[in-house]
Amino acid sequence: MGGLWACHLHQADHPVTLILKDAAAEESFLRASTIKVDREQGTIENHFPATLAERISADDLTVDKISLLVTTKAYDTLTALQSISHILTSYSVVVIMQNGMGQHELVHQAFPHLPVMTAITSQGAYSKAPFHLVHAGHGDTWLGRLADQEQMVAKRQAADLLALNIPAFWDEDIASRMWVKLAVNCVINGLTVVRECRNGEILATELHSRIIRLCDELELVLAEVLSGSATPNLYDEVTRIAAATSNNISSMRQDVLKGTGTELDYINGYLCSEALRRNIDVPEHRALLHELRELVPS
Ligand code: KPL
């Protein structure tokens, strides 16, 4: 996702620097030398600088105010920000574009003065080779402020991202959207891992009553955390997204197949701890989390 947004920013003439996490990523970028994006209209190639986090210095940047789009996995967010803390100031704008919840609070605790925003996207991109992406699905992206920033100020800070050739909108109530996304990910990602299946296969009849119980519990949690905001019928939302992405391998299942870390603690784990903190009983989710913990390396 980072590569896709970097290309869109670059095409809109914004100075872009890719910040890579380790020497292996840097070596692979040097070998590729560009980011390629395959689209229906053909492949585009984008050249821009890349650097390692530890090597970046404020002098390398051609702008005095940086906007940072964080597209790491949720569990790497804090480490990623700490690795570039020497270039962050209270004028920097940080936009976290990821699945999961909980990482934003960690960032806010560690960097209380940093304006942190969140972005939720239904754009689909996958990597065909290192730094060669396929832009496979077009969707919308929603941005919103997280902490106590003023709506208009935050929206103005996100203006560059809202004006690209990729549909992106401001949401004054991004928390509701984040919770609905978390709820959908708890069910689809969780069940596709335990059933070792693609997204659409969770719609099989034998999972029907389990999905209903999971969604009923999620509605109890959402009613409490989003007091007042209208939430969609979660069963309809889960089944709609499972059908729309039916051939996808969910991100958590992809992580399990690759043997890398997963976002379990920021998806199903976060839901169960928030439910516990608020005294809401979610036995079906606790059972799913337990099953996932047996299967998924933490
Ligand atoms: O966000 C997703 C994910 O896999 O993390 C869904 C919507 C389930 C699509 O695969």
| Interval 25-61: pLDDT, tens | 999 998 888 999 998 889 999 998 888 988 888 776 6
The whole-number pLDDT of residue 264 equals: 97
86 CA to centre of ligand 1 in angstroms: 33
pLDDT digits (tens, 9 = 90+) for 178-188: 999 999 999 99
188 and 71 share one domain: no
Give the total number of structural domains in the chain. 2
Does the beta carbon of 251 lie inside 6 Å of ligand 1?
yes
In the listed set 153, 171, 189, which residue is the last one of a domain according to the structure?
171
Residue 13 alpha carbon to ligand 1 centre in Å: 31
Range of the domain at 250: 176-295
Q: Check whether residue 281 and residue 138 sit in a common domain.
A: no
**Residue 96 CA: distances (Å) to CA of 9, 255, 258:** 16, 20, 23
Indicate which CATH number applies to the domain containing 114.
3.40.50.720
CATH number at residue 260: 1.10.1040.10
pLDDT along the chain (298 residues), means of 10: 90 90 90 90 90 82 78 95 89 91 94 91 85 87 86 88 92 93 97 96 96 97 86 93 91 92 96 97 98 86
Residue 85 Cα to ligand 1 midpoint, Å, equals: 30
- Residue-level pLDDT at 73: 94
- Give every CB contact of residue 259 below 8 A, 6+ residues apart in sequence: 297
**pLDDT attached to residue 136:** 79
Q: Is the CB of 99 under 6 A from ligand 1?
A: yes
17 shares a domain with 126: yes
192 lines ligand 1 (CB under 6 A): no
pLDDT at 177: 94
Ligand 1 centre to CA of 106 (Å) is 23
| Nearest ligand 1 atom to alpha carbon 263 | 5
